[in-house]
Amino acid sequence: MPLFHLVVLALVQGITEFLPISSSGHLVLAWEVLDAQAGAVAIQSGHDRLIMDIAVHVGTLLAVVCYFRRDVWQMIVGTLSLLIGRRSEGARLAGYVILGTIPVVIAGFALRDRITEFLRDDAVIAWTTIGFGMLLYVADRSGMTLRRLPHMRASDALVVGFMQILALVPGTSRSGITMTAARFLGYERRDAARFSLLLSIPAILGAGTLAGADVYESGNLRLGMDALVAAGFAFIAALAAIALMMRWLQRASFTPFVVYRLLLGALLLYLIYV
């Protein structure tokens, strides 16, 4: 795959994965542009495309772990300390991340084939991009800003986790729907984003592990090297996007992301129906 195409896909995924703006909608546009290029050397099979998409997710995983390295380290140490009967804030946070991940793991295994078959459609992505963008706006405007992660309860983690199931529908935005849920529960914007991004770690780790096994079994070393290059560029883009979003949420709302989602959804609908 040409280096230019790798860079485009990696930057698109890296920038949009953790922002509440639907990475799948952007990937639809990216593939449309690359496929439309005359003489473009594109990835031929849907299987290979899926591997490449997940490869850039792995790059974004490394970025979120790097940015939240203190939280990740505290969760690891806190979990290990439970073995000797010591409880800590890190162990508590790790427990909530695990609790919030369980619903989407169960739903993913039960519904994955059906969702892939019936809902991976450009029109679905366009409408969900718009609809869940509007829901984020309502949550951000109506939700209180009184709670932080130390105030989190197990029931809150489960609510966010069950809402994450909706992210199985393309265009919903995993980060967007989890931030929406946290805002409805009254969490401050930065804390809503922080828990959302921590929840992404097990989700992306699982998908990346499956993709890595597929690449190894396929024996396609060229595709494997392309995936590594894409993951590297995605890491850089995602790290920058996370840092900028967290800084933005210190002093402003989610409204610009909502407006952007509405514009993106409208553009997708235009491309589909006009």
Taking alpha carbons only, the member of 237, 176, 165 closest to residue 203 is 165
CA dist., res. 267 & res. 264, Å (int): 5
Indicate the pLDDT class of residue 18, thresholds 50, 70 and 90. very high
Residue 40 has a pLDDT of 47
pLDDT, averaged across the chain: 85
57 close to 204: Cβ distance less than 8 angstroms: yes
CA dist., res. 47 & res. 25, Å (int): 19
* CA-derived radius of gyration, the chain: 18
Determine the structural domain holding residue 256 and report its residue range. Answer: 3-273
Angle between helices 122-142 and 255-273 (to 10 degrees): 160
Domain count for the chain: 1
| 266: pLDDT strictly greater than 80 | yes
CA dist., res. 145 & res. 140, Å (int): 9
| 38: pLDDT strictly greater than 50 | no
Token pair recorded at residue 51: 């591997």
**Rounded to two decimals, what is the model's pTM?**
0.89
40 close to 193: Cβ distance less than 8 angstroms: no
- SS3 label, residue 187: strand
Indicate the pLDDT class of residue 265, thresholds 50, 70 and 90. very high
Mean pLDDT is lowest, of 117-126, 173-182, 257-266, for 117-126
104 close to 165: Cβ distance less than 8 angstroms: yes
CA dist., res. 167 & res. 261, Å (int): 15
